[in-house]
Amino acid sequence: MKILVTGGAGFIGSAVVRHVINQTDDSVVNIDKLTYAGNVNSVATVADSNRYLFECADICDAAAMRVLFDKHQPDVVMHLAAESHVDRSIDGPAAFIETNIVGTYVLLETARQYWKDLPEERKAAFRFHHISTDEVYGDLHGTDDLFTETTPYAPSSPYSASKASSDHLVRAWQRTYGLPVIVTNCSNNYGPYHFPEKLIPLIILNALAGKPLPVYGKGNQIRDWLYVEDHACALYKVVTKGEVGETYNIGGHNEKQNIEVVHAICELMDELAPMHERGFPQNTKHSSLITHVTDRPGHDLRYAIDASKIDRELGWKPEETFETGLRKTVQWYLDNKTWWQAVLDGSYQLERLGQGV
C-alpha cells in the first residue's frame, strides 16, 4: 500500500511516517510545506528507505496537489498537515484558517477528482483519513464526563474552530460526493520530536537550562495525555481497519492537571539530570523553577477522551502509561540534544533551503 501523509515532517506526522516504514511493508509519500514546525530531521532515521519519498509542497496549492496525486498514485491519504498551536492561533488566526480549512478543502477536492477516476477495485479500497483533535468539542465541566464520538462541537479557540471546520468539510465530502473518509479525534500528544513550544518539551528544556517553568494560571487545566507512538499505531489501525464514514476518538486514559505534569517532569529531571551536575547548589530541585503566569484567553479547563469505541471495534489500546511514556520522553530529550538544539537555534530551518523552500 502507498500512503500519502500530509504534514509528515511535523510531530505526529513524523511518528506516523516512522511507524509505517519501521513496522509495516507499506510505502510513504511525505508531503510537507516545512513551515516552522516541520523538521526533516524528525524523519531522518527512515529517510534512506526505498519505501519513503519526500515532497516539499503546500496543501493549499491545488495545482501542486493534483501533480503529486497523479505522480504517486496513493492508495490512501492520511491528512495531518495543520497549524496546531493554540497560542499562535490567538495571536494570528489567519494561518490557521488558510492551512486547516482551505488546505483541507483543496486536499478533499484533489482526492475526490483522483478517487473517482480510479479503477473500481482501487476506488473501493481508497481511504481519506482526516486526523483531528479533541479540542473541537470545547471543554468538559463535570469530573466524570468524557468526549465521545457524538459529543457536540463547541470549539473555544481559533485553532480548534479551524479544526472543527475541517472536520465538517470532510464529513460533507463523504455525504455529498461519497468520498470514503474516516475521522479521528485525539487527545494531547507527547513524546520524542515534539516542537519545544508545547508544554512537555518546553518544561523539559527550560528545566535543563535552569530557566523558569511557566504554568498558566493555577495549572489546574486537565488534559488526557497520549504517547505519540501509541497514537501513530492507532492511526495506522484506523486507516487499514476502520469503517468508512466512522469517527474514532483516540485517547491515552491519562488525565492529569498541567501542574501535575510539570511536577512529574521535575521529579524525573531531579533523578536523571540533577541540577547540581549543571552548577546549581546541591539538592536544588527543578520544582523551584515553577513560575505561574497569566492564563491565556478562553483556556479550556478539562479534556478527556472516551476511547472505548476504537478498543471495542478495532482492538487498539495505548501501550504506554503516562509514567512510562513520560520517562521515555524525558530520556529522549536528554539523549538527543542535537535534534532540539537545532530547533532552538534555528539551524534546523537550513534544511528547508536544501528542500528548495
User: Is 134 a catalytic site residue?
Assistant: yes
Tell me what the mean pLDDT of segment 270-277 comes to: 96
- For residue 138, the domain's CATH number is 3.40.50.720
Cell of residue 14, nine digits = 513524523
3-state helix, strand, coil in the chain (%, to 5): 50, 15, 35
DSSP output for 95-159: HHIIIIIIHHHHHHHHHHHHHHTS-HHHHHH-EEEEEEEGGGG----SSS--B-TTPPP---SHH
Q: What angle do CA 282, 340, 204 make, to 5 degrees?
A: 40
The active-site residue out of 159, 190, 248, 348 is 159
When computed from its CA atoms, the radius of gyration of the chain, rounded to whole angstroms, is: 20
Cell of residue 302, nine digits = 478539562
The active-site residue out of 32, 58, 83, 135 is 135
With a cut of 80, say whether residue 350 has pLDDT above it: no
Task: Please indicate, yes or no, if residue 297 is contained in any of the structural domains.
Answer: no
Task: Please indicate, yes or no, if residue 215 is contained in any of the structural domains.
Answer: no
Task: Please indicate, yes or no, if residue 36 is contained in any of the structural domains.
Answer: yes
Tell me what the mean pLDDT of segment 203-221 comes to: 95
Q: What is the DSSP letter of 8?
A: T
The active-site residue out of 134, 139, 224, 255 is 134
With a cut of 90, say whether residue 97 has pLDDT above it: yes
- Give the confidence band of 85 by pLDDT, cuts at 50, 70, 90: confident
Tell me: the pLDDT tens digits for 285-325?
A: 999 999 999 987 878 788 899 999 999 999 999 999 999 99
With a cut of 70, say whether residue 86 has pLDDT above it: yes
Give the structural domain span for 17.
Answer: 2-191+227-254+304-321+347-354
Tell me what the mean pLDDT of segment 260-274 comes to: 98
Task: Please indicate, yes or no, if residue 131 is contained in any of the structural domains.
Answer: yes
Burial class (CB in 10 A: 0-12, 13-18, 19+), 293: exposed
Cell of residue 43, nine digits = 524523519
With a cut of 90, say whether residue 132 has pLDDT above it: yes
Counting the structural domains of the chain, the total is 1
Q: What's the pTM? A: 0.94
Task: Please indicate, yes or no, if residue 332 is contained in any of the structural domains.
Answer: no
Tell me: the pLDDT tens digits for 223-247?
A: 999 999 999 999 999 999 999 999 9
- Give the confidence band of 87 by pLDDT, cuts at 50, 70, 90: confident
- Give the confidence band of 351 by pLDDT, cuts at 50, 70, 90: low
Per-chain mean pLDDT for the chain? 94
